[in-house]
Chains A and B, each alone.
Chain A
Amino acid sequence: DTGVSQDPRHKITKRGQNVTFRCDPISEHNRLYWYRQTLGQGPEFLTYFQNEAQLEKSRLLSDRFSAERPKGSFSTLEIQRTEQGDSAMYLCASSSQPTSGLHTDTQYFGPGTRLTVL
């Protein structure tokens, strides 16, 4: 399977614990995005990388959240001191850099990591 993969698929944790999620994008894609989705809402943008550079972070990404993409391939999203409000589906997507004249290329989503904070 050469699509976007995410690990783990499900994570249950107690409030106050740290969690880390991993995303492996499609290999030739240099852009990687993280989103959060709660029930009844569309995905909310958190951050994105072009290669290893983190180019934008949403105001939703509090100091407890950090994302890395050290070698420009896989990415990790860490949440420190989890709170019940962090319970959501965390989606990763990847795309290639758009060709000249286009603003964005198609994003391909992974299956998501469902986080439950007790």
Chain B
Amino acid sequence: GAVVSQHPSRVICKSGTSVKIECRSLDFQATTMFWYRQFPKQSLMLMATSNEGSKATYEQGVEKDKFLINHASLTLSTLTVTSAHPEDSSFYICSARDQKRGGRAETQYFGPGTRLLVL
């Protein structure tokens, strides 16, 4: 089955530093990946759509200069939280769409998530 990995699984950093989170589709190609943010006991909020070879599309209210997204290949998207602050602490989840399966949203496969703690 389709597998999506994220690295790291958890990261602790100091306020003001930048953190990069990787999302990889292990056995399929993904022209589209999605980045979500999940606060404790709350739902997933879509942050942005990552498109291979082009600029990411950000949801309303998400700062694109704060959350840099790069989708350089068909199997890798990265999310960089720049100048992280404690309020950026959260659980970040990516999903990847298996383009060969076509269809719609059901072809999204989710990564295990990355827990970020900014001190």
Chain B binds chain A: no
